[in-house]
């Protein structure tokens, strides 16, 4: 779902750049930095329209945060430093991929745990539907064999 919109992002970003051309600094002409801005802001959430990424949002706050990210890139910060710059101010909510910690254990572990429980239940049920063939009773086979051979008339 998320991936299907990647092709749109350069377009949207180009649009937002033309809109805020006066705030875009010289770094806008640096394709490397712009690629990183797109990559980073696609991972970050706009806090005003919470289901939009920072890359796609037209909200003024998103513009400001893109400006901050652009400046951090210009300062030579790496991606994790830029993300922690934003989480220090806005909390983990700004990232679409929350970090793994005590508060997010359920968030990360519940889905795989439920999947495993579901698979186990499915396996138990399937096993019950097709029980393994019962081991034939040796005495019964002997009796049948005798009957087949016509040797058990005396027992009738």
Partner 1 sequence: MKRYLPLMIFFGLAVLLGIGLTLNPRELPSVLIGKPAPQFELDRLDTPGQFSPSELKGKAWLLNVWASWCSACIQEHPVLNDIAKSYDFPIVGLNYKDQDRDAKDWLALRGNPYKVVIADREGRVGVDYGVYGVPETFVIDKAGRIVYKHIGPVTQQVFKDKLLPELQKAQR
Residues facing 138 on adjacent strands: none
Q: Compare residues 89 and 97 and give the one whose CB is closer to partner 1.
A: 89
Of 60, 99, 111, 118, the one binding partner 1 by CB under 8 A: 60
Cα distance from N-terminal residue to C-terminal residue, the chain = 75
- Applying the rule CB under 8 A, the residues between 89 and 148 that interact with partner 1 are 89-91, 93
151 binds partner 1 (CB under 8 A): no
What character string, x for contact with partner 1 (CB under 8 A) and - otherwise, covers 29-48?
------------------xx
> Cα angle at 101 between 97 and 106, to 5 degrees?
80
Mark out the alpha helices in 4-150 (DSSP H runs).
8-19, 31-42, 60-74, 79-90, 105-129, 138-149
- Judged by the rule CB under 8 A, the positions of this chain that interact with partner 1 are 47-48, 50, 60-61, 64-65, 68, 87-91, 93
């Amino acid at each position: 779902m998320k991936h299907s919109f990647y092709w749109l992002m350069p377009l949207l970003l180009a649009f937002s750049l033309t809109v805020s051309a006066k705030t875009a600094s010289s770094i806008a002409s640096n394709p490397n930095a712009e690629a990183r801005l797109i990559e980073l802001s696609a991972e970050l959430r706009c806090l005003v329209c919470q289901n939009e990424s920072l890359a796609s949002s037209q909200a003024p706050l998103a513009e400001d945060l893109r400006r901050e990210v652009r400046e951090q890139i210009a300062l030579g910060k790496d991606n994790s430093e830029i993300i922690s710059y934003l989480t220090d101010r806005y909390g983990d909510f700004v990232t679409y991929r929350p970090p793994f910690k005590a508060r997010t254990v359920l968030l990360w572990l519940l889905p795989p745990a439920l999947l495993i429980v579901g698979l186990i239940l499915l396996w138990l049920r399937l096993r019950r539907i097709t029980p393994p063939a019962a081991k034939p009773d040796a005495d019964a086979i002997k009796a049948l064999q005798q009957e087949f051979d016509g040797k058990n008339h005396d027992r009738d």
